[in-house]
Structure 1
């Protein structure tokens, strides 16, 4: 009935997002600041929704004609 949160968290740290994208943490921060990757702030912590990474990858694929 409930939502399973054990395998893939809904929110990622910038470090986790960078690891999933095989990019440097600083590059992911730049993408966030540029508005290329959506993020949210909870208190002082910045988090990236997992679906924001998927949306970013989908946009890159469309731009590159895949």
Structure 2
């Protein structure tokens, strides 16, 4: 997976596909998480992007529930 730009810096915004791969989930599941408000995302024009921090917050929330 390519969570790092050519500059060596980690990506701040991920595509749905990148977020799905990072979470080990399918695209459809990630879209459902976004629709349910469980996973934060932003729109840039017609594009949907997931902040890397939103993925970390989602995982932290899951861990706190258990």
What TM-score comes out, normalization by structure 2 length?
0.87
Which ranges of structure 2 fall in alignment gaps of 5 or more residues? Answer: 1-6
What TM-score comes out, normalization by structure 1 length?
0.87
Matches within 5 A, 1:1-66: 6-64=8-66
Q: Which has the larger radius of gyration?
A: 1
**1:51 aligned counterpart, secondary structure:** helix
What number of residue pairs does the alignment pair up? 60
Q: 1:6-40, CA deviations, whole angstroms, 9 ceiling, x for partnerless residues?
A: 33100000000000000000000000000000000
Cα RMSD (Å): 1.0
